[in-house]
Amino acid sequence: MGKFEIKSTSAGKTMFNLKAGNGQVILTSQSYASKDGCKNGIDSVRTNSQNDDRFERKTASDGSPFFTLNAANGQVIGKSEMYTSTSAMENGIESVKKNAPDADVEDNS
């Protein structure tokens, strides 16, 4: 089972990682000014991850595939790691879809 892990940044803000059951980070959020904003971001991931149209598949300048998860208004909620192949990226998207809805929240901030 996956989990959202909330942590503080070096700049004094709050962010989260969504981790798969094996502990691998599958989505990283932006930095939020408040913990409440961070928790709202987690709720947004839970909701938007169930709509495939919210995943934007991209390619980095070095050719590595990655994805972002966007809210209905187009704002980026989270970003993936860089993958070595398109199929690995698609597996990452499926992992977010599977883990996000029921993931526990661990506050390490």
pLDDT at 40: 95
User: Domain of 101: which CATH number?
Assistant: 2.30.29.80
Number of domains in the chain: 1
Please give the residue range of the domain that contains residue 26: 3-107
Under 8 Å between Cβ of 5 and 15: no
pTM for the complete prediction?
0.92
pLDDT at 1: 84
For every one of its 109 residues, what pLDDT tens digit does the chain have, with 9 covering 90 and above?
Answer: 899 999 999 899 999 999 999 999 999 999 999 999 999 999 999 999 999 999 999 999 999 999 999 999 999 999 999 999 999 999 999 999 999 999 999 999 8
